[in-house]
Amino acid sequence: MMSRALAGVWTLAMPAVRPDSGLLAVAVLTAAAVVFALLLVSQLATTRPSSPLLARATALRELTRKAAYLPLRDPDAAGRPRPRAPGM
């Protein structure tokens, strides 16, 4: 599909691109950059870990990092003052 699109663009641009013009060099460099970017993206997409267990472990690690610390879960713990009674 990508090759058809590039072929269509090349067919439309061909009358404007002559061997003596600088547009041919620009077109070749642009095509090379597009191919390089596509190869880079495909390489990055295949090297990412796709394990559901790894994704779950990462998500749980992030949740524990963001969890709020509740300092008064055990008000009777040693060294902690008792909480005050509500005012009347």
- Give the pLDDT score at 33: 92
pLDDT at 18: 63
Q: Is the pTM of this model over 0.95?
A: no
The model's pLDDT over 10-67, given as tens digits with 9 standing for 90+, comes to 676 666 656 666 777 787 888 889 989 988 888 776 665 567 888 888 889 898 888 8
Specify the pLDDT at position 48: 59
Q: What is the C-alpha separation between 24 and 9, in angstroms, rounded?
A: 13
Distance of CA 9 to the CA centre of its chain: 29
Number of residues assigned to the chain:
88
